Structure formats: structure tokens, C-alpha cells
């Protein structure tokens, strides 16, 4: 699993800045956005970097276990909800 790491300032000293970041989260429920494919995460990071050239944005595999668990739970709930909506629309 991959997430997008957003640094609060452009790193001058990588070691110092390694603690000065956050993982991209959903604005509504504060769940970390996770990607199963590295290519998708890199594409999203690239788009965000182009929109925000003053920020430093990268892709990481280092996702804290509790954050990953919440993200996977949300993803599975969203998939169930989508499946239910699709089956209901087919029955109509």
C-alpha cells in the first residue's frame, strides 16, 4: 500500500525534515488516502506537485498501522456500498 507524503516545507536537510510531514487525508473523515498501485500514487503526487510547486510531495510505503487499518476499513465499506447500489439499480 502507498500513501502520499506532504512535507510542511521544502526539505533543506532531509533528516531534519523527515519528521515535518503529514499523509494526505480525506477532508471529511480524516482517513489517510491509500493506493494499491504505486503508479496511481505517483501520478496523483505528480499532479499535486504541479498544482503546488512550493511544496514537496512524495509517495511512501511507511503508513502507520492504525491509519492503514482505518483506510482499509473505509475502502471496504465504500466497496460494499457501491456493490449494494449497483445491485439495487439492476433490480429496478
Blockwise average pLDDT, block size 10, the chain, 92 residues: 87 64 91 94 95 90 95 89 76 62
pLDDT at 87: 73
Q: Report the C-alpha gap between 81 and 71 in whole angstroms.
A: 15
CB 34 within 8 A of CB 72: yes
pLDDT at 11: 63
Q: Report the C-alpha gap between 22 and 32 in whole angstroms.
A: 10
pLDDT at 80: 84
Amino acid at each position: 500500500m502507498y500513501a502520499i507524503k506532504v512535507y510542511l516545507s521544502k526539505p533543506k536537510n532531509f533528516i531534519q525534515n523527515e519528521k515535518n510531514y503529514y499523509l494526505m487525508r480525506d477532508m471529511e473523515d480524516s482517513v489517510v488516502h491509500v493506493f494499491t498501485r504505486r503508479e496511481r500514487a505517483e501520478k496523483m503526487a505528480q499532479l499535486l506537485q504541479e498544482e503546488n510547486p512550493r511544496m514537496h510531495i512524495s509517495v511512501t510505503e511507511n503508513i502507520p498501522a492504525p491509519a492503514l487499518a482505518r483506510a482499509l476499513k473505509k475502502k471496504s465499506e465504500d466497496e460494499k456500498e457501491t456493490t449494494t447500489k449497483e445491485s439495487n439499480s439492476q433490480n429496478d
